[in-house]
Amino acid sequence: MNQMQQMLMQAQKMQRELVKAREALAAKDFPVSKAGMVEIVLKGDKTIKKIAIDKEALDPENKDMLEESIALAINEGLKKIDEESEAIDEEITGRKGALPF
């Protein structure tokens, strides 16, 4: 087997591993809680699975803090997902960012 065929086979193997790892990531839950007011659970595919709001937080005087807590929780969850995705890419390919194919 020549060197080009070996490189192609290695690239195909990495691509299969990336697909498998990304499927597992998409199914994983990423829970985040903020200020005891809000709990958000995001899936690894960046969809929101659950938003739980404490009854005490529904007071109209808490509106701004509640909205900020929801935004912070979602952003933190998205950051966790991105970090795990980058770690997967780096572990499989040896570099940050997916392979360009």
Distance CA 81, CA 4 (A): 35
Per-residue model confidence as pLDDT tens digits over 4-35: 899 899 889 999 999 999 999 999 999 999 98
Condensed to tens digits (0 to 9), the pLDDT of residues 33-74 reads 998 899 999 999 999 999 999 998 899 998 999 999 999 999
Q: Is the separation of the CB atoms in 39 and 73 below 8 Å? A: yes
Q: What is the pTM of this model?
A: 0.84
| Single-letter residue type at 28 | K
CB 54 within 8 A of CB 37: yes
How far is the C-alpha of 79 from the C-alpha of 12, rounded, in Å?
Answer: 29
